[in-house]
Amino acid sequence: MSDITQRLIHLAVVLAIAVTLRFVLILLIRRTVRILLSRESEGSTDLGVRAQSILAKAGGLSVERQRQRVTTLGSLLRNVVDVVIIAVTLLTVLAIFGIPMAPLLASAGVGGVALGFGAQSLVKDYLSGIFMLAEDQFGVGDLITIGDTRGTVLEVSLRVTKLRDPMGTVWYVRNGEILTVGNVSQGFSAVFVDVPVAIDEDPEKVTQVLRAAVSGMQEEPAWAEVLLEEPSVVGVDSMSGGTMVMNIALKTGPNQQWGVMRAVRQRAQRALGEAGIRGPILYPAPPQ
Amino acid sequence: MSDITQRLIHLAVVLAIAVTLRFVLILLIRRTVRILLSRESEGSTDLGVRAQSILAKAGGLSVERQRQRVTTLGSLLRNVVDVVIIAVTLLTVLAIFGIPMAPLLASAGVGGVALGFGAQSLVKDYLSGIFMLAEDQFGVGDLITIGDTRGTVLEVSLRVTKLRDPMGTVWYVRNGEILTVGNVSQGFSAVFVDVPVAIDEDPEKVTQVLRAAVSGMQEEPAWAEVLLEEPSVVGVDSMSGGTMVMNIALKTGPNQQWGVMRAVRQRAQRALGEAGIRGPILYPAPPQ
Amino acid sequence: MSDITQRLIHLAVVLAIAVTLRFVLILLIRRTVRILLSRESEGSTDLGVRAQSILAKAGGLSVERQRQRVTTLGSLLRNVVDVVIIAVTLLTVLAIFGIPMAPLLASAGVGGVALGFGAQSLVKDYLSGIFMLAEDQFGVGDLITIGDTRGTVLEVSLRVTKLRDPMGTVWYVRNGEILTVGNVSQGFSAVFVDVPVAIDEDPEKVTQVLRAAVSGMQEEPAWAEVLLEEPSVVGVDSMSGGTMVMNIALKTGPNQQWGVMRAVRQRAQRALGEAGIRGPILYPAPPQ
Amino acid sequence: MSDITQRLIHLAVVLAIAVTLRFVLILLIRRTVRILLSRESEGSTDLGVRAQSILAKAGGLSVERQRQRVTTLGSLLRNVVDVVIIAVTLLTVLAIFGIPMAPLLASAGVGGVALGFGAQSLVKDYLSGIFMLAEDQFGVGDLITIGDTRGTVLEVSLRVTKLRDPMGTVWYVRNGEILTVGNVSQGFSAVFVDVPVAIDEDPEKVTQVLRAAVSGMQEEPAWAEVLLEEPSVVGVDSMSGGTMVMNIALKTGPNQQWGVMRAVRQRAQRALGEAGIRGPILYPAPPQ
Amino acid sequence: MSDITQRLIHLAVVLAIAVTLRFVLILLIRRTVRILLSRESEGSTDLGVRAQSILAKAGGLSVERQRQRVTTLGSLLRNVVDVVIIAVTLLTVLAIFGIPMAPLLASAGVGGVALGFGAQSLVKDYLSGIFMLAEDQFGVGDLITIGDTRGTVLEVSLRVTKLRDPMGTVWYVRNGEILTVGNVSQGFSAVFVDVPVAIDEDPEKVTQVLRAAVSGMQEEPAWAEVLLEEPSVVGVDSMSGGTMVMNIALKTGPNQQWGVMRAVRQRAQRALGEAGIRGPILYPAPPQ
Amino acid sequence: MSDITQRLIHLAVVLAIAVTLRFVLILLIRRTVRILLSRESEGSTDLGVRAQSILAKAGGLSVERQRQRVTTLGSLLRNVVDVVIIAVTLLTVLAIFGIPMAPLLASAGVGGVALGFGAQSLVKDYLSGIFMLAEDQFGVGDLITIGDTRGTVLEVSLRVTKLRDPMGTVWYVRNGEILTVGNVSQGFSAVFVDVPVAIDEDPEKVTQVLRAAVSGMQEEPAWAEVLLEEPSVVGVDSMSGGTMVMNIALKTGPNQQWGVMRAVRQRAQRALGEAGIRGPILYPAPPQ
Amino acid sequence: MSDITQRLIHLAVVLAIAVTLRFVLILLIRRTVRILLSRESEGSTDLGVRAQSILAKAGGLSVERQRQRVTTLGSLLRNVVDVVIIAVTLLTVLAIFGIPMAPLLASAGVGGVALGFGAQSLVKDYLSGIFMLAEDQFGVGDLITIGDTRGTVLEVSLRVTKLRDPMGTVWYVRNGEILTVGNVSQGFSAVFVDVPVAIDEDPEKVTQVLRAAVSGMQEEPAWAEVLLEEPSVVGVDSMSGGTMVMNIALKTGPNQQWGVMRAVRQRAQRALGEAGIRGPILYPAPPQ
């Protein structure tokens, strides 16, 4: 009887814990959803709230889309909590009364292995997302390069990063697949403009002509804000076939090099033409 | 005897739970199938129903195909439920009566490892599918790019995504293999049209001729709905061999750039011809 | 003695279950083999029969080959069932009489890990096959593309898919390796025919000539069943070197584009010749 | 003492089983080796014999090589059986007398994980081999393509497939690495012969000339057995640069296309020359 | 009762340990955060402090960014410590009072597998980072090559390495993905300058002209610090088409070769011109 | 006390087994080392000796190198045996006296997982090596192709295969990474020699000229041992641009084709010149 | 009470073992560090010392760098030993007094899986390193090729191999990633020098001219030490376009071919010029 009593006490304890845990978790989910919906969470300090405020700051979600997503996730989470708590409680009660669990747990283990392994890339995505956010590798509006994809960050969530590439395509990249990421919007952009001329022109004369053509660009109002340094003619880059290629180095604000490159190319072309310097000799060169 | 009694009670409990569980699961499967078949599930609120309504909304299945698939899956699920419940119950009963389970469970474990690991990519497909749907990465009718495959989404199920590419081929892509997805149908499409001219033409003159050729296109009824911005001539893009390439930037509605590109190319060609600007000088250039 | 009695009862139960299970499984295998051999299984409804009827419908096996394969598989399965049941029963009996199993099970575990992991791709193949069949991704006779392999489906089994490519080679592809599959035989095929002309021809005149050449093809008896739409000249596709490429769009029944393409190419060539439009200017263009 | 008695009984049982098992296994190995050596096994029916007869049929081993390999494998297997049975028996005896096994089994587990995982690709090779043989994907003498390797099958064993490529190199491919295999020797081979002519020739005239050149080949004794269909001129395949390419379709027995292709090419060349049709215009075309 | 007493003692011990452990860990976290914030940690000797001082030395973080990151990580760690200690204590207490844990632990195991496997690449990143730092493979300011990315190291943290490439893009590379790393800034840089001349020039004469052109460069003030050795003309490197390529070998300080290469190229060109040696003969050579 | 007695007996048994096992293993290692050093092992028959004699036959090690390696491996193995036996014995003794092992074994398990998984590729290398040797895929002196590496086998050990490529580089390839291996030295080598002529030459005349040039080579003493068959002119291989390529088929002993190919090329060239057949017309052909 | 006594004895034993083990390990670490620092370890014979002496011989570390690294590693190892021994002892003591460990061990297991799997590539690196050193695949100063990296070995440690490539870049390659390694510095280097001449020159005459040009080189003092064999003209290597390529075979000491190749090329060029043999005819040849 003492045994029976003990089992009944165990039963009561397990049920109490299960009910309490479910109550606390459901409450936590409800509250998180409410806070996420009202966005009044800046001052609060407990963990759950902090996590979602990080999440909210990270992504620039449109309000209605986020509201909808939050509600769906909340109801999904509540259902998962219910199913898991009921199942575990039931099994524990059976175990309290001495019914052997080994066959059931072994059978469930097969599903568990599949589920655990299948979910591993999901967990990897979330962990990568958390660390990427914590390390502040990029933010909304940055131009970044991930593998073959380059675009402006639209949204950073814990699982995926959303980019828009220059062609207008929106890319969703799973965070766990981001092994290397390049952020173009930090600091500056440096480029070389290639200027091809005939291989038998005098390199020093060409250098002087080009230098004259681009000097003073940094003072011009059109380029003052874009150029970080005066463009510099660095000399002969390569000689092959009938072509000698001269290099002009530019340093601009992040991703602002495109307009300057076009302007420099246009000025160089005009200056070379005026100085009578011939373009590349158009015989085919040995292929490489 | 107390021991025997206890075991008989355990037996009764296990059988009762097994029968109840089977009854509930079969009922759930039947009901889900019925709802999926009659599509009357919009207003219902419990989890199972919600899951299939998400599924149903996601894919644009033809009615008869879905009906057939649902019936097959339902009967398959019922059989799986039967086999699993009978096997687990039998084993638990044997364990209740003290027959050692270790050799059997160990033998089954080998199969379990193979099954669990083999099923892991299946689970990964489903988990990826659930999150892709929840995050609304793309919908039926969107033009998307997955790896080397580009096409219009025909159907999004939890396991595979079905596309039709521009050549008419229908592609089935497993959701777990979608690491990066590009959605072309969100927002806009931006392109550059290349216009090659002779390398010794005056870039500024060419720019003016092209600007005149494409200005006002956004007001023309034919392009008013397609063009989001007036086409702009952005300048010299590259100079190599006997060719100078000018760029014209276009911004259109998603995936609507193709007609505009052809029209712009045709207008540019005509305008250049009328202005007497020569095309690229056709000597072979140094290969790269 | 009560202990001895209990053990003897356990022994009897285990042996009874083993014998029964073996009997049932052997019966099931025999029956499945008989049904597969006589192909009289259309009306039957239990799971085993359904599985093999799906299997049978899926592949278009020649009768004698399938008969032979089925017999071999049946005898293999019977042997596997015998070995597994005898081994598990023996071990359980030893465990009933209290002989420690840990050393044996641990030793067997090493083999089990190797076997389980080695078999995982086999399980993956079968699971993928089951879902591919259930989702009806393609059927016998469809022209499909899997990775670098394109061919007509000869047979879909649960483990491998068998294709014949246009060169006559027969390909066996393991289902678990099919991440993305393209089905050409669903709906239609759309193609562009490239027509190269000299870069200085008038695009509008060329368009008219080509339009005249291909208009009315859908009404011609030879193409009426193949063409789904009237061919349309969509305009200038690209201009590079001395070549301007015009595009003609075709939409045909699945995989029926080849003959139309040749016919359209021939007509275009003739029409251009008659209209005095020159072909591409044959100077080498800048390589890309 | 009853405890001691029981343990002694256990000891006796374990030793008896170990000795019996070793005896049976050694006998089985000896018998299999003897049968494999004398090749008298066609009529026998038990599993071991069947397996090796399948193995023997599959590969076309030279007699002395197989004899040597079989003897080596037999002695290796006997040693493995001895070591495993002695070790497991010793451990079980220790466990019977109550010596704790946990430290030893845990230490052995590390080796076991390494061994099990390291052996997993071996098991995969064997399982793939068994299924490839059972599915009869290819046989000795077939010309097959596996990945980048193409050759004639010399031998199919359970672990590796042995090919000889056309250059005479012998390739050993592990069966588990065969994801996709193409069998050229099933049914037929279909090819297109390209015939390049000047781009300004009349396609219809060229078609007639070629048709006349190849018509009737199927009736000629030299090609009657090789050609499955009359060669057919399918029309213009491509037009680029100064070249128009005509296609002639051939369908021959498996891998018998090479001679026909050369003959057709030679006839076409002669017929075109006699008809005064010029070859391709030899200006460089735009590279791709 | 003795049993109850024992359990209560166990309870007290567990609670005491839990409270103590939490106190110690929170203290450790607080102290580490405080030290990291005040950067007064150079002289301290215990492990935690050393670890973060290594960390701090490795990366050249801006002060405010590091301060913010440290505070966030500290609060995150405190929360993790709280949750883990409370959960483990609760479960241990339940186990002390005999409530069966198997169902709960098995359920948690599924999540544990997913979490453990998902976190494995995180652990790999950290372990790789620790060893990379310990082996001092590169430091802040070094120019390094990782896979396709080359840039100057901005920061080395335990998880990621931060580079800026020459174009200004900032790259984040996960340490676990760094299989091979090339450090350009250790020792020297050696390059060959190619000088193409006509294939029928006398190699010895060209060698003398080039030798005269570059001799003495190491003594010139402009290059004295950069050049580690006198440039040497090593002879004919290749002959193909109409071109003979001569090689000049340079050895400079790490990554200082670019200016020297341009100067050498310019001098060689001038000297060859003055000596009347013709450049490469510009006929197309056979492509490779 | 009976308990104490039993434990002391267990202790004695465990120590006895440990000492015996260590003695046997050390003896085995010593003997193997001695035999390997004196190479007197041909006639012996037990497993250890056989294994190393296989090993010794497989590789053509220089005597002193092998002696040194064997001694080092022997002393390493003795140390490993000592450490493992002492550790396991100590733990078992502790377990005999009832000290709980769970915490220690769990801690060791983490290291065990890392060690087991890390060692898995090592085990794979050895297993692959054993099977490669048993299947006699290649031997010392054979010319083989593994992945991108081709060379003559210098040594086949159980873990790595050592090749020397034609450039003199010595390659070490891990056996587990050998998925496909091509053995050039088995049987024969077959090659085609390409002979390019002008596209408008008569194929039949060219065939006759070439046939006359190479006929009778198999009888010439210089080639009698090398050529397995008379060279045969198989006809026109391809026609593109201004070139018609004729094929001559050769079949030689393994890897003996190079000299024959040069001789055939030289004869063909001379014969064509004497017969007045022009070489390929040197206009650029359309690139592919 | 006997129970309490036993537990106290257990406690004492565990503490004694823990203290002893820590003492021994710390001593071992200290001694290893001291020996590594003083490098007086040549004559000692126990395992630890031998391991580090192998390590020391393998790498050519600068003294101060190694000193610093050794001290750091020693202090790190001491800390790890302390933490592990304290934690395991504490847990064992708790287990001795009957506090349930399952919840704690299960929680720790999640971290253990992550740690074990994350550390697996570390273990792989070390195991590969040990075997690479034991097999003496390459040593400091050898020129080796690993994947795309080729360079001179600077240092071989157990975890990484350090190379300097010809451009001066220092590469760190993890040993576990070295699947195939090519050692250029063993034995010899063999190369072919290509000499292109006009396709219509007489091959035999060219062969004689070239033979005369390079004969006797092995006797010249400049090349006597470098050339292992007299250079031999092996004949026509290929004929395509207007070019016939002759091959001269060289065999030199390891990696000493570069100077000889330049000298042979220069001599061949001069000899051909003097003999009036024309270079390749510079028309473009058909691309491949």
The DSSP annotation for E162-227 comes to EEE-TTS-EEEEEGGG-SEEEETTSS-EEEEEEEEEETTS-HHHHHHHHHHHHTTGGGSHHHHTTB
Q: Tell me whether D188 touches chain C (CB under 8 Å).
A: yes
Neighbour subunits, B (≥3 Cβ pairs < 8 A): A, C
Cβ distance D284 to C282 less than 8 Å, yes or no, reads yes
Confidence of residue C23 (pLDDT cuts 50, 70, 90): very high
Q: What is the pLDDT of residue D161?
A: 92
Q: Report residue E70 as tokens.
A: 């440290």
Confidence of residue G282 (pLDDT cuts 50, 70, 90): low
Token look-up 């996730």 returns: A73
Token look-up 């009357």 returns: B40
Nearest CA in chain C to D205: C266
Tens digit of each residue's pLDDT (9 = 90 or more) over G67-77: 777 777 788 78
Cβ distance D286 to C240 less than 8 Å, yes or no, reads yes
Q: What secondary structure does DSSP assign to E80-134, as a single string? A: HHHHHHHHHHHHHHHHHTT---HHHHHHHHHHHHHHHHHTHHHHHHHHHHHHHHH
Task: Work out the percent of chain G whose per-residue pLDDT is above 70.
Answer: 86
For residues C158-162, average pLDDT: 89
D216 Rama sector, left if φ>0, alpha if ψ -120 to 50, beta otherwise = left
Higher-scoring residue by pLDDT: B284, D122: D122
pLDDT at E218 over 80: yes
Q: Report residue G188 as tokens.
A: 């010899």
C123-127, C272-276, C281-285, E231-235: least confident range: C281-285
- The torsion angles phi and psi of C195, rounded to 5 degrees, stand at -125, 110
- The torsion angles phi and psi of G73, rounded to 5 degrees, stand at -60, -40
Q: What is the pLDDT of residue E163?
A: 92
Tens digit of each residue's pLDDT (9 = 90 or more) over D69-83: 777 778 878 888 898
Nearest to G191 among F69, F76, F167 (CB): F167
Q: What is the pLDDT of residue D46?
A: 42
Q: What is the pLDDT of residue B282?
A: 59
Q: From CA B192, how far away is CA B261, in angstroms rounded?
A: 9
For residues A152-165, average pLDDT: 89
Tens digit of each residue's pLDDT (9 = 90 or more) over G75-96: 878 888 888 888 888 888 888 8
Task: Work out the percent of chain F whose per-residue pLDDT is above 90.
Answer: 11
Secondary structure element (H or E) that encloses residue D261, with its range: helix D257-274
Buried b (16+ CB within 10 A) or exposed e, D178-207: bbbbbbbbbbbbbbbbbbbbebebebeebb
Nearest CA in chain B to C7: B99
For residues B115-122, average pLDDT: 85
CA A66, A68, A73, A74 dihedral sign is positive
Q: Tell me whether G76 touches chain F (CB under 8 Å).
A: no
Higher-scoring residue by pLDDT: D109, F176: F176
Closest CA to E183 of E211, E222, E144: E144
Q: What is the pLDDT of residue F43?
A: 38
Q: Tell me whether D120 touches chain C (CB under 8 Å).
A: yes
Cβ distance D288 to C288 less than 8 Å, yes or no, reads yes
User: Which residues have a Cβ under 8 Å from the Cβ of G124 and sit 6 or more positions away?
Assistant: F118, F119, F121, G176
Q: From CA A129, how far away is CA A136, in angstroms rounded?
A: 10
Tens digit of each residue's pLDDT (9 = 90 or more) over E44-67: 344 444 444 444 444 444 556 667
What distance, in Å, lies between the first and last C-alpha atoms of chain A? 92
pLDDT at G56 over 60: no
- Angle (CA) B259-B264-B266 rounded to 5° is 95
Buried b (16+ CB within 10 A) or exposed e, C36-45: beeeebeeee
Nearest to F92 among D69, D100, D169 (CB): D100
F122-136, F142-156, G34-48: least confident range: G34-48
pLDDT at A118 over 70: yes
Q: Tell me whether F88 touches chain D (CB under 8 Å).
A: yes
Confidence of residue C171 (pLDDT cuts 50, 70, 90): very high
pLDDT at F49 over 60: no
Contacts of D165 in chain F (CB under 8 A): 182
Tens digit of each residue's pLDDT (9 = 90 or more) over A24-56: 999 988 888 887 777 533 433 444 444 444 444
CA E27, chain centre distance (Å): 32
pLDDT at A66 over 70: no
Give how far D255 is from chain C: nearest CA, Å: 9
Q: What is the pLDDT of residue G65?
A: 61
pLDDT at D35 over 60: yes
pLDDT at F5 over 70: yes
pLDDT at B172 over 80: yes
CB B35 within 8 A of CB B44: yes
Q: From CA G52, how far away is CA G57, in angstroms rounded?
A: 8
Name, of D11-15, E3-7, F55-59, G45-49, the range with top average pLDDT.
D11-15
CB B104 within 8 A of CB C88: yes
Q: From CA B116, how far away is CA B101, in angstroms rounded?
A: 20
Q: Report residue D254 as tokens.
A: 């498996």
CB F92 within 8 A of CB D99: yes
Contacts of E88 in chain G (CB under 8 A): 103-104, 107
Closest CA to G210 of G228, G200, G195: G195
Among F residues 2-31, those touching chain G with beta carbons less than 8 Å apart: none
User: Which residues have a Cβ under 8 Å from the Cβ of D279 and sit 6 or more positions away?
Assistant: D196, D197, D198, D272, F199, F200
The two counts, helices (H) then strands (E), for chain G are 8, 8
Size of chain G, expressed as the number of residues it contains = 288
Tens digit of each residue's pLDDT (9 = 90 or more) over G223-277: 888 888 888 888 877 777 677 888 898 888 888 888 888 888 888 888 888 888 8
What distance, in Å, lies between the first and last C-alpha atoms of chain D? 92
Q: From CA D188, how far away is CA D260, in angstroms rounded?
A: 14
Q: What is the pLDDT of residue D102?
A: 81
Q: From CA A125, how far away is CA E121, in angstroms rounded?
A: 11
pLDDT at D160 over 80: yes
Task: Work out the percent of chain E whose per-residue pLDDT is above 70.
Answer: 87
Q: What is the pLDDT of residue C152?
A: 92
CB C279 within 8 A of CB C218: no
Tens digit of each residue's pLDDT (9 = 90 or more) over F194-215: 888 887 788 888 999 999 988 8
Neighbour subunits, C (≥3 Cβ pairs < 8 A): B, D
Confidence of residue E153 (pLDDT cuts 50, 70, 90): very high
pLDDT at E39 over 50: yes
Contacts of E266 in chain A (CB under 8 A): 203-204, 235-236
Cβ distance C236 to B262 less than 8 Å, yes or no, reads yes
CB D98 within 8 A of CB C36: no
Contacts of E170 in chain A (CB under 8 A): 182-184, 186-187
- The torsion angles phi and psi of B36, rounded to 5 degrees, stand at -60, -35
Higher-scoring residue by pLDDT: B260, F283: B260
Q: From CA B134, how far away is CA B140, in angstroms rounded?
A: 14
Q: What is the pLDDT of residue C100?
A: 84
Confidence of residue D172 (pLDDT cuts 50, 70, 90): very high
CA D284, chain centre distance (Å): 44
- The torsion angles phi and psi of C205, rounded to 5 degrees, stand at -65, -45
The pTM assigned to this predicted structure is 0.81
Q: What is the pLDDT of residue B39?
A: 53
Q: Tell me whether B165 touches chain C (CB under 8 Å).
A: yes
Q: Could you give the 3-state DSSP secondary structure of residue B121? A: helix
Q: What is the pLDDT of residue G191?
A: 87
For residues A11-24, average pLDDT: 90
pLDDT at E73 over 60: yes
Confidence of residue A147 (pLDDT cuts 50, 70, 90): confident
Secondary structure of chain C as H, E, C letters:
CHHHHHHHHHHHHHHHHHHHHHHHHHHHHHHHHHHHHHCCCCCCCCHHHHHHHHHHHHCCCCHHHHHHHHHHHHHHHHHHHHHHHHHHHHHHHHHHCCCCCHHHHHHHHHHHHHHHHHCHHHHHHHHHHHHHHHCCCCCCCCEEEECCEEEEEEEECCCEEEEECCCCCEEEEEHHHCCEEEECCCCCEEEEEEEEEECCCCHHHHHHHHHHHHCCHHHCHHHHCCECCCCEEEEEEEEECCEEEEEEEEEECCCCHHHHHHHHHHHHHHHHHHCCCCCCCCCCCCCC
Q: What is the pLDDT of residue A287?
A: 39
Confidence of residue F19 (pLDDT cuts 50, 70, 90): very high
Q: Tell me whether C208 touches chain B (CB under 8 Å).
A: no
Q: Report residue C249 as tokens.
A: 């769009």
Q: Tell me whether B166 touches chain C (CB under 8 Å).
A: yes
Q: Tell me whether G96 touches chain F (CB under 8 Å).
A: yes
- Angle (CA) F6-F12-F17 rounded to 5° is 125
Token look-up 């379709």 returns: D249
pLDDT at G17 over 80: yes
Average pLDDT over chain B reads 80
Token look-up 């099970």 returns: C105
Confidence of residue G162 (pLDDT cuts 50, 70, 90): very high
Nearest to G134 among F72, F94, F122 (CB): F72
Closest CA to D120 of F114, G115, C122: C122
Alpha helices in chain A (DSSP H): 2-38, 47-58, 63-96, 102-118, 120-134, 203-214, 221-224, 257-274
pLDDT at D235 over 50: yes
CA B85, chain centre distance (Å): 35
pLDDT at C284 over 80: no
**The F243-252 sheet, strands edge to edge:** F189-198, F243-252, F232-240
Q: From CA A197, how far away is CA A199, in angstroms rounded?
A: 6
CB A246 within 8 A of CB A207: yes
pLDDT at A200 over 60: yes
Q: Could you give the 3-state DSSP secondary structure of residue G70? A: helix
Give how far C281 is from chain D: nearest CA, Å: 8
Tens digit of each residue's pLDDT (9 = 90 or more) over C1-16: 577 888 888 889 889 9
Nearest to E119 among G114, G177, G270 (CB): G114
For residues F180-206, average pLDDT: 86
Contacts of E122 in chain A (CB under 8 A): 127-128, 131
